[in-house]
Amino acid sequence: MHRLIYKSRSTGEIDKESIRDILYTSQEMNRKSVITGALLATKSHFLQILEGDFGLVNETFFRIVHDPRHDKVELISFGPVDKRLFDKWTMKAFGIFNLNKEIEKSLKEKYGEEEGGVYFPLEESLALSLVYDVSMMDKSPLAS
């Protein structure tokens, strides 16, 4: 079992509709590959976590890297893990640009700010912490 985390910058402004498009495609492809994970998005950046078989996660990542909807892809981590953190989610997406202002302020204070949105950290532990915080704060993810 392996986990991969990456961050990227969107080539256009991200909105709920663009996240839904990514989410539905990801869910279908991940179901076939037995990959699980989470996607966070601000209006300008993505942070995604993928979990599954090494080869299938690697193949999925290479496909993602070539997606024209984003660039400046930064690999945060890719390595073996004992178990999945997201075993129930083929993919769950959280748009963190229309949150309650207090929640957004709290996340910016804890993780920093980037281009007006919450900063997606480049350290594995902080990226996982952010996903956990958002999943606990935002009770209305786009889908799972």
Residue 91 — pLDDT band, cuts 50, 70, 90? Answer: confident
Confidence (pTM): 0.88
Q: What are the pLDDT digits (tens) for 27-55?
A: 888 888 899 999 999 999 999 999 999 99
Distance in angstroms (rounded) separating the CA atoms of residues 127 and 100: 21
Q: In what order do the strands lie in the sheet with 2-10?
A: 70-80, 2-10, 45-52, 36-41, 92-95
Identity of the residue numbered 101: K
Which residue has tokens 């402004």? 13
Q: Which residue has the higher pLDDT, 23 or 113?
A: 113
Domains of the chain: 2-137 (3.30.70.100)
Phi/psi-derived region of residue 100, left when phi > 0, alpha when psi is between -120 and 50, beta in every other case: beta
